[in-house]
Amino acid sequence: MPDQKPSARIRPATVLDAPAVAAVHLRCWRETYGEKIPADVYAEREAAGPGEWERLLSDPDGPTVWLAHRDGEAVGFAMAVAPGAGHVRPLELRLLHVVAQEHGRRTGTHLLQLAVGDAPCQVWVEEGNAHAQGFFRHHGFELDGERRTVAARGSLTEVRMLR
Ligand SMILES: CC(C)(COP(=O)(O)OP(=O)(O)OC[C@H]1O[C@@H](n2cnc3c(N)ncnc32)[C@H](O)[C@@H]1OP(=O)(O)O)[C@@H](O)C(=O)NCCC(=O)NCCS
């Protein structure tokens, strides 16, 4: 039976949300990547994440971070950036994470719309993450054949999708 719960509510995150965003980020990594990411990388993220989010969310020139919440609990977030000159698209969806218990309630779709609208855009997705690739394909993105390995995420291989 389809899940009848509505999408979570979404608003811009503030510096006061830094601990919650860091916690959701780490939770989503564990749910999505599991043991593909080594324990020491998780430990480093757990230690450094809250401070990094606090710096980003208190920077007046920083990107908007869209925070989804339900019943007072953070359940997802999204952030887009301008990747800079020379990139194939002028806009990059840098982060989009929804906790597993929220999947399928259109929270990811609403976060995507707030972060990038229907603009031409690039996103890097883990190569084995068929669920996210299907979600982005559903929203008009296609693989363009580019791959990279990201040391900061425990050497995960990512593929690029463009719209
Ligand atoms: C990918 C992710 C953001 C999707 O969020 P979500 O809230 O579960 O997705 P939604 O409920 O908004 O999906 C809505 C639509 O996308 C479609 N969709 C979702 N996953 C799909 C898939 N794998 N294949 C095809 N369509 C898919 C749904 O059918 C639905 O379509 P509809 O609106 O036309 O009915 C979420 O699963 C997630 O955070 N995953 C873990 C982290 C991750 O992989 N992030 C991306 C890394 S870049």
**pLDDT exceeding 70 applies to what percent of the chain?**
98
Q: Which residues line ligand 1 (CB under 6 A)?
A: 28, 32, 96-98, 103-109, 123, 125, 129, 131-132, 134-135, 138
pLDDT at 4: 75
Distance (Å) of CA 102 to CA 38, 107, 115, 117, 131: 25, 7, 18, 21, 14
- Separation of 156 CA from ligand 1 center, angstroms? 20
Average of per-residue pLDDT across 117-125:
97
Ligand 1 atom nearest to 103, measured from its CA: 8
SS3 state of residue 108: helix
Q: For residue 27, what pLDDT is reported?
A: 98
Averaged confidence pLDDT in the chain: 95
* Segment holding 150, helix H or strand E: strand 142-150
The rounded Å distance from CA 136 to ligand 1 centre is 7
Instruction: Name the CATH code of domain 9-162 (choices 3.40.630.30, 3.90.870.10, 3.40.50.720, 3.30.450.20).
Output: 3.40.630.30
Is the CB of residue 95 less than 8 Å from the CB of residue 143? no
